[in-house]
Structure 1
Amino acid sequence: MLKKINVLFVVYLLIMGQISVAQVDLKGLREKPDTNIVKKAQAPVANLQEVSVPIPKLDLEINYWKHWTKFGINMNQASFSENWSAGGVNSIAVGLLGWHKSEYNKNNFQYVTELDLRYGKIRNKEQLAKKNNDRIFWDHKIAHKLSKSWALYFAVTFESQFDAGYKYGRDSETNDEIITDTMSRFMAPGYFTESFGLEYKPDNTFSLRLGTGTARQTLVLDDRISQKENEKDRFGVEQGARFRNDLAFQITANLDRNLSKNLNIKSRYNLFADYKELSDPDHRLDVILTAKVTNLVNVSLTGIMVYNSAEADKVQYSQALALGLTYALPR
């Protein structure tokens, strides 16, 4: 019996030894498989040549300037036959305009110059030609930003006109229209305004200047006007003098905004309050509403309102509706 048990024990040891050897061999294959079972022939590598690719030198510069320009012509015309029963007067009106703006922005510094030139004449049958628009406006502004919307500014503005303005009457004998008096002309009056203060500009379409330190020089360089006895015709300048200086508080608001894709409104309001006469400030409001018909053709409605007690006791106003051609740059 003992002999059979020994034999079975020996057989058991032999079987376990074989299993251990097999496990060792399999474990070796799993950890380090032979990946070079099939050897592939490598393709021959062609001779390579170095190619020199030129790299362009980029000469990049930041342009801090922006420029805008507009110039155009407006025309109105009406004619009637001699037997036109409803009545009417043959007339023709021509207006010219030129506008330019340049703007420089770098960090917190800004410089803006704006030039606005307008001149127009109207001629009715059997009447003398009269101007219906005449303006020279040139504004320069330097500003330093204090925050996103506020800045300190200094501005210089020049205003005058191109042509003489006349008063008209009738000849007592022929009843023809004649010139009876000269009311204004170039540099009679002419205005220079220097202003310093704070500017509020929340976006590129609106700005508001508060000029706490403002000086304005009024010049009348035509003796026919400076020698007038009526002070209202000398724009506040004393009789015989050619110059007047005023210190004042000034408010200037500018709006240039697109109301729709083809409709734009541009306006400028100016209040000038002389420190000696704060209760009687001067006011001027210019509004231009422009509707674009095509890239060149547009319809414009212009309105001007002025109150200056040195010129007239009541509010002065003018209005014009015109169809014209306007070319703008950049396109």
Structure 2
Amino acid sequence: MKKLYTTATALLLAAASFAQTPAITDDIEKTTKAVMEQAATEADSLQKASPWKSSGAAGLSLSQASFSNWNAGGDPAIAVNASFNYSLDYNDGSNLWTNRLELAYGINRTSTDGTRKTNDKIYLSSNYGRLIARKLYAGATATFNTQFAKGYDYKVSSTEYISDFMAPGYLSVGLGLTYTPTAWLTVIVSPATYRATFVCNDRLSDAGAFGVKSGHRVLNEFGANIRAEAKTTLWKKLSLYSRLELYSNYLHNPQNIDINWDIQLDYALTGWLTANLYVNMIYDDDILFGKTADTPGSPRLQIKEVLGIGFQVNF
């Protein structure tokens, strides 16, 4: 009897399990279908991902000092430096278009010297290329840079300016190749580059500043240009942006290479607080120092350095 009861129970359980098999199969089919649809949706979204990418940073650093009956002496001062960088890039696998905007302005005010400019920059670049080989693009590039306000050589005079907005202003347009060996390095070689130096200030153009002929506002040059840009994280919160430009004028002293090198180091102290070091080195064969009626003057290496700690927002 016990054996019969056990056998009957087993048969009932087997029948129940077979009765549930269609329902289980149906659930499995529904789950599989949902998973497949989700995978297809994700694959489709990846394929349709926007080829546009943008990034930027806005920074502001402040410093202030004041003194009252201070035995060691001192000069009350306040310094402000603002910067804005923005990149907008397009890459669909066949076409590469990169754009960059850099703005900076800084002042320092003391009770003795008044307000003096410490930083001033307007820079815009655009580069387009069509893929012709692995990591190699053929296309065109353009750059423009100038400054916002008048600049002075305070060692000589605090009233006579030596530069101004669009004095100088530089415009370069070239044809060539763009090579992207890694995600953080881009090299642009433009063997056919037109460069114009604008001096749109009568007093400066009459003086023949920045290489233009006296009374002229534009210096036209044609030559070769190489631009190398690197953007990477060196160590944890330390990032580097470097841009080196080399230019040779085919029409005049092609062996004398003009150099413009920008280096920006950012160290994130906190989410909002950042330490910045900016260095700009320029050597331009057309910019002469010590030029007078009796001496021709000579080009020199120009160096600008700005170090600060302030607020920075990345987006």
Q: What TM-score do the two structures reach when normalised by structure 1?
A: 0.76
Quick check: 1:271 aligned with 2:249? no
Could you say which residue in structure 2 is the equivalent of 1:285? 261
Which residue of the other structure, out of 128, 135, 150, is the alignment partner of 2:121?
135
Could you say which residue in structure 2 is the equivalent of 1:238? 213
Name which one, 1 or 2, has greater alpha-carbon Rg.
1
Which residue of the other structure, out of 106, 109, 112, is the alignment partner of 1:120?
106
Which residue of the other structure, out of 303, 310, 315, is the alignment partner of 1:324?
310
What secondary structure, in the 3-state scheme, does the structure 2 residue paired with 1:226 have?
helix
Summarize the Cα distance change of 1:279–1:84 in structure 2 as closer, same or farther, 3 Å threshold: farther
Cα distance in 2, alignment partners of residues 104 and 40 from structure 1: 68
Q: Answer whether contact 2:75 2:112 (CA < 8 A) is retained.
A: no
What secondary structure, in the 3-state scheme, does the structure 2 residue paired with 1:188 have?
coil
| Alignment gaps of 5+ in structure 1 | 1-36, 171-177
Quick check: 1:190 aligned with 2:190? no
Could you say which residue in structure 1 is the equivalent of 2:282? 306
Cα distance in 2, alignment partners of residues 110 and 324 from structure 1: 34
Q: Answer whether contact 2:197 2:218 (CA < 8 A) is retained.
A: yes
Q: Answer whether contact 2:129 2:138 (CA < 8 A) is retained.
A: yes
Q: Answer whether contact 2:79 2:107 (CA < 8 A) is retained.
A: yes
Could you say which residue in structure 2 is the equivalent of 1:226? 205
Quick check: 1:91 aligned with 2:91? no
| Alignment gaps of 5+ in structure 2 | 1-6, 24-29, 289-298
More helix by share: 2
What secondary structure, in the 3-state scheme, does the structure 2 residue paired with 1:295 have?
coil
Q: Give the letter for the 1:77 counterpart.
A: Q
Quick check: 1:79 aligned with 2:66? yes
What secondary structure, in the 3-state scheme, does the structure 1 residue paired with 2:160 have?
strand
Shift of 1:169: 7.3
Quick check: 1:205 aligned with 2:184? yes
Q: Answer whether contact 1:76 1:322 (CA < 8 A) is retained.
A: no
RMSD (CA atoms):
2.8
Cα distance in 2, alignment partners of residues 215 and 321 from structure 1: 34
Cα distance in 1, alignment partners of residues 232 and 90 from structure 2: 20
Kindly provide the CA deviation profile for residues 104-128 of structure 1, in whole angstroms up to 9, marking residues without a partner as x: 1112211111101111111122112
Determine what percentage of the aligned residue pairs are the same residue. 28
- How is 1:166-177 mapped onto 2 (pairs within 5 angstroms)? 166-168=152-154
Cα distance in 1, alignment partners of residues 143 and 279 from structure 2: 21
What secondary structure, in the 3-state scheme, does the structure 2 residue paired with 1:146 have?
strand
Q: Answer whether contact 1:191 1:217 (CA < 8 A) is retained.
A: yes
Shift of 1:203: 1.2
Q: What TM-score do the two structures reach when normalised by structure 2?
A: 0.79
Cα distance in 2, alignment partners of residues 241 and 194 from structure 1: 21
Cα distance in 1, alignment partners of residues 97 and 174 from structure 2: 15
Could you say which residue in structure 2 is the equivalent of 1:67? 54
Kindly provide the CA deviation profile for residues 192-251 of structure 1, in whole angstroms up to 9, marking residues without a partner as x: 1011212221112111121111111111111121112xx3xx111111111121001111
Q: How many residues align?
A: 278
